[in-house]
Amino acid sequence: MGNLYTVATPIGNLEDITFRAINILKEVNLIACEDTRHTLKLLNHYDISKPLISYHQHSKVSKIDHLIEELKAGKDIAIVTDAGTPGISDPGQVLISKAVEKGIRVIPIPGPSAVIAALSAAGVPTDAFIFLGFLPLKKGRKRIIESFKDEKRTIVLYESPHRIEKLLGELKDVLEDRKIVVARELTKMFEEIIRGTVSEVQERLKIIKGEFVVIVSAK
């Protein structure tokens, strides 16, 4: 049986990749990725030429099965996602879970992840935090946000640009002047980290573009 390597790739800046990640990408038989065009940019930057297979959360089950068959046949596969660490709030989880279920060895190649990058610069206590990824759009959303009122650990969320203003509004309704941190476009040209009460952040967040991590400080 081959190995499945979960290879962390940059969340923006192409230099944020480890030597080991590059070596693994060069050594495996194939690379399973979200979007081939996106991954090709990274591979071209590091002069890596490798067969790419796009898996996707919504791809036919047969694609995941095909990759499992390749692993069983002895091929080593690296899984990468469009950004960061595979399996952290992204479609990579489906293949990883299936590989574990089938007894395939899964080897992590650690590196960037937006949750950790944001926490490391946030300036809030990080000894205990909960990561909730993307909040559900409807079911349970209100109840989860209400629960932040009494949460004694730092809370980390992912949010898309389409919904960031809505999320900040919802946080304000519940948390009033609680301190939050909004980290936008980390490691990229327009990186911005805004710290303050929810209303201060709402006021200072002028550009609603790019990718966001939202951190809510504990009660």
Binding footprint of ligand SAM on the chain (CB under 6 A):
11-12, 81, 83-85, 88-90, 113-115, 158-160, 183, 185-188, 211-213
What's the min distance (Å) between Cβ of 74 and ligand SAM?
28
Residue with Cβ nearer ligand SAM (148 or 212): 212
Residue 183's closest CA among 150, 165, 205?
A: 205
What's the min distance (Å) between Cβ of 73 and ligand SAM?
28
What's the min distance (Å) between Cβ of 41 and ligand SAM?
15
Q: Are 186 and 117 in contact (CB under 8 A)?
A: yes
What's the min distance (Å) between Cβ of 139 and ligand SAM?
20
CA distances from 46 to 15, 22, 217 (A): 10, 8, 38
Residue with Cβ nearer ligand SAM (57 or 74): 57
Looking at the chain, the number of H-run helices and the number of E-run strands are: 8, 10
Q: How far apart are CA 175 and CA 177, in angstroms?
A: 6
Q: Which residues contact 157 (CB under 8 A, 6 or more apart)?
A: 132, 133, 134, 135, 167, 213, 214, 215, 216
Residue with Cβ nearer ligand SAM (160 or 176): 160
Residue with Cβ nearer ligand SAM (39 or 113): 113
What's the min distance (Å) between Cβ of 72 and ligand SAM?
26
Q: How far apart are CA 13 and CA 20, in angstroms?
A: 17
Residue with Cβ nearer ligand SAM (187 or 197): 187
Residue with Cβ nearer ligand SAM (43 or 164): 164
What's the min distance (Å) between Cβ of 84 and ligand SAM?
2
The residue of the chain with the least Cβ separation from ligand SAM equals 84
Question: What kind and span of H or E run contains 203?
Answer: helix 198-204
Q: How far apart are CA 179 and CA 197, in angstroms?
A: 4
- As given in the structure block, the two tokens for residue 2 are 């081959």
